[in-house]
């Protein structure tokens, strides 16, 4: 029923089908869809319904509303002059019922051993925790398109941090807002009263203001119930988000850190519901050329000593060393109430010197006291333009964090998690689309990775300048954004002896094997790099991944 130039009521058949497949066109204007079940609004989503041509389909799950009278109340922000009367839009003929939704991969750039959403847009990793042999990863998901929208916590799980299974969406938007980033903890002692061993998540409800809400799970993170008395933390600061909770054994309380404008606020709690503001950190410290987001705070060992120190992670966008998004960190002391940075305020430290490493946070409750981090392998400068359609964005490989000292400063050590060694397949002579390249180097040297199309990436170690760089200006598809073709350069602390280079269909991550340098960059070669040319004293081995 077309009721006006921008309003449609669309009655659905819920009896016979599992899904309505919605045709999406990324260039089309936004349609705001209210799902009405027996006259009540049960869901709202924003979808770019195809006006001319469906780029792809997304599934609207009807099974939840079986037996209800269901109507889509659709407001279309279409421009009649440019796109024609909405009656003529392609979507009406192309919508279809189905009992299945095909998530078989259609993308050549989809990584083989990095986590990606089965379909739709992804940004930050959220609520990561480990329990009973399983790693859980939630993520900022748009289940209704490959651009940022409808923020929902998607869920994937893994036994080995490499093979991920999509578990569906775990936390969906509600009347308080869409579900922005946050964290989850395993409440072993039932401090919150949701049950022993319950998973308790806190996320930002992004409504008219940003507030913090709780949800809990008593089935190991599969399904969540929202806490009835949400929100649990409010503020009049406009950018107020991304709560990260953790148990602090030093003070036998829960701590929480969240981004509040250009600072990080710290809180304490006994029960995960009532939070007391303690202090804030950040004024005048580090890089402030962007919004502070997605914090984390943890106690880490300083390598080769018997010292522990605290590290505060602060993701910032823009303001990164090569433009756009990046992860900075501060090392110091934390007494459960206040974080004190040990470096001078003007010292800025970056965890990864590539362009595609953002929203880095760690898993709660990881075994053996490990601090395992994963980042969103993208950059807000061009995340919406990267050349994939079925899905957008991957996570980095998992990395174990520690600290090391060098020339009077303490830095974050970043080592590819040991699970990646177990993924090494056969040694091979040539590069391939998914492999690990291990370089043993002596002194200044370089390697060029290239394909038959002449696309290449140049990796250069300059021992006297103490730098390592990656040039992706001719790496393949680079013209989707002016901000993409760049060379990234990292400081090297000490001498590089061995590099571990993880190559996947659309990414290259380089690590100093000793964990003193990390560099993560996307690349989109038309065909995989299959040749190596080396300069200097280099020996290498290639493992299939």
- Sites of contact with ligand FRU (CB under 6 A): 123-124, 140, 151, 180-181, 204, 241-242, 293-294, 359
* Nearest approach, Cβ of residue 58 and ligand FRU (Å): 18
* Nearest approach, Cβ of residue 242 and ligand FRU (Å): 5
In angstroms, the CA 218 to CA 228 distance is 16
Q: Which is nearer to ligand FRU, 14 or 396 (CB)?
A: 396
Q: For residue 229, what is the DSSP state?
A: T
Q: Which is nearer to ligand FRU, 352 or 455 (CB)?
A: 352
**Contact present, 358 and 380 (Cβ < 8 Å):** yes
* Nearest approach, Cβ of residue 48 and ligand FRU (Å): 18
In angstroms, the CA 441 to CA 512 distance is 11
Laid out side by side, the sheet with 253-260 consists of 240-248, 253-260, 263-269, 276-281
For the question of residue 124 being annotated catalytic, the response is yes
In angstroms, the CA 481 to CA 487 distance is 15
* Nearest approach, Cβ of residue 229 and ligand FRU (Å): 22
In angstroms, the CA 484 to CA 477 distance is 9
Closest CA to 521 of 314, 370, 388, 379: 379
In angstroms, the CA 197 to CA 131 distance is 9
Closest CA to 35 of 52, 17, 47: 47
Q: Which is nearer to ligand FRU, 115 or 241 (CB)?
A: 241
* Nearest approach, Cβ of residue 516 and ligand FRU (Å): 27
In angstroms, the CA 341 to CA 334 distance is 9
* Nearest approach, Cβ of residue 263 and ligand FRU (Å): 14
**Which residue of the set 13, 124, 174, 249 is catalytic?**
124
**Contact present, 71 and 62 (Cβ < 8 Å):** no
Closest CA to 436 of 537, 354, 535, 541: 541
Q: Please, is 17 exposed, middle or buried when counting C-beta atoms within 10 Å of its C-beta (0-12, 13-18, 19+)?
A: middle
Catalytic residues: 124
């Amino acid at each position: 029923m077309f009721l006006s130039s921008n309003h449609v009521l669309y009655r659905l058949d819920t009896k016979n089908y599992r899904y309505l497949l919605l045709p999406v066109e990324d260039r089309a204007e936004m349609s705001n869809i209210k799902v009405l079940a027996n006259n009540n609004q049960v869901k709202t989503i924003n979808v770019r319904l195809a006006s001319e041509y469906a780029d792809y389909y997304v599934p609207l799950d009807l099974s939840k509303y079986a037996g209800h009278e269901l109507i889509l109340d659709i407001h279309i922000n279409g421009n009649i002059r440019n796109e024609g009367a909405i009656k003529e839009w392609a979507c009406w003929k192309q919508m279809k019922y189905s009992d299945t939704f095909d998530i078989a991969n259609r993308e050549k750039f989809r990584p083989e051993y990095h986590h990606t959403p089965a379909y739709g847009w992804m940004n930050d990793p959220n609520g990561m925790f480990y329990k009973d042999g399983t790693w859980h990863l939630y993520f900022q998901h748009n289940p209704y398109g490959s651009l940022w929208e409808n923020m929902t916590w998607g869920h994937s799980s893994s036994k080995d941090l490499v093979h991920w299974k999509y578990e569906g969406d775990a936390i969906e938007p509600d009347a308080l807002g869409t579900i922005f980033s946050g964290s989850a903890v395993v409440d072993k002692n039932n401090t919150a009263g949701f049950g022993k061993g319950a998973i308790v998540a806190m996320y930002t409800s992004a409504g008219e203001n940003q507030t913090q809400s709780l949800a809990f799970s008593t089935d190991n993170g599969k399904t969540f119930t929202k806490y009835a008395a949400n929100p649990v933390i409010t503020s009049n600061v406009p950018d107020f988000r991304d709560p990260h909770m953790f148990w602090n054994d030093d003070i036998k309380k829960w701590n929480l850190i969240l981004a509040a404008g250009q600072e990080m606020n710290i809180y304490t709690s006994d029960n995960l519901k009532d939070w007391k503001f303690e202090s804030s950190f950040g004024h005048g410290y580090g890089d402030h050329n962007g919004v502070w987001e997605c914090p984390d705070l943890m106690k880490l060992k300083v390598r080769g000593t018997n010292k522990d120190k605290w590290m505060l992670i602060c993701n910032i966008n823009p303001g990164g060393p090569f433009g756009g998004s990046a992860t900075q960190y501060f090392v110091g002391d934390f007494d459960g109430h206040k974080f004190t940075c040990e470096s001078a305020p003007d010292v800025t430290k970056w965890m990864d010197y590539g362009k595609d490493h953002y929203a880095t946070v760690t898993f709660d409750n990881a075994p053996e006291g490990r601090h395992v981090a994963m980042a969103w392998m993208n950059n807000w400068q061009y995340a919406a333009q990267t050349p994939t359609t079925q899905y957008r964005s991957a996570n980095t490989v998992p990395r174990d964090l520690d600290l090391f000292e060098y020339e009077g400063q303490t830095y974050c050590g970043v080592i590819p998690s040991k699970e990646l060694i177990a993924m090494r397949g056969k040694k091979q002579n040539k590069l391939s689309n998914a492999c690990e390249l291990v370089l043993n180097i002596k002194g200044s040297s370089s390697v060029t990775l290239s394909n038959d199309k002449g696309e290449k990436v140049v990796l250069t170690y300059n021992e006297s300048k103490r730098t390592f760089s990656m040039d992706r200006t001719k790496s393949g598809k680079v013209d989707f954004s002016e901000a993409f073709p760049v060379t990234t350069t990292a400081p090297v602390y000490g001498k590089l002896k061995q590099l571990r280079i993880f190559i996947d269909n659309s990414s290259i991550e380089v690590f100093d094997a000793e964990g003193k340098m990390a560099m993560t960059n996307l690349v989109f070669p038309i065909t995989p790099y299959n040749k190596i040319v080396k300069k200097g004293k280099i020996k290498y081995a290639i493992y299939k991944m």
